[in-house]
Amino acid sequence: MKKIKEEKNIEILVNIRYEEKGEELIQTYEFSSSNKKNLNYLFDARFLFKRKVDKLVSTFLLNDYIDRIDEPDKITIRYKAQEKPSNCIRKLQAYIPPCFGCMYCEKAKIEDQFIYCPEKNKHYTLASQGVKRCPVFRQKNKLIT
Q: Are strands 8-21 and 109-111 parallel, antiparallel or unpaired?
A: unpaired
CA 124 to chain centre: 27
Domain boundaries, the chain: 9-96, 98-145
Mean of pLDDT values over 82-93: 93
The sheet carrying 24-32 orders its strands as 65-71, 74-80, 24-32, 8-21, 88-96
Confidence of residue 142 (pLDDT cuts 50, 70, 90): low
Name the CATH topology of 9-96: Alpha-Beta Plaits (3.30.70)
Per-residue three-class SS string for 50-97: HHHHHHHHHHCCCCCEEEEEEECCEEEEEEECCCCCCCEEEEEEEEEC
Contact between 56 and 14 under an 8 Å Cβ cutoff? The reply is yes
pLDDT the model gives residue 3: 57
Confidence of residue 145 (pLDDT cuts 50, 70, 90): very low
Total number of residues shown for the chain: 145
pLDDT the model gives residue 24: 93
pLDDT tens digit sequence for 18-35: 999 989 999 999 999 988
pTM: 0.80
pLDDT the model gives residue 128: 79
The least confident of 3-7, 16-20, 42-46, 53-57 is 3-7
pLDDT the model gives residue 2: 53
pLDDT tens digit sequence for 61-71: 999 999 999 98
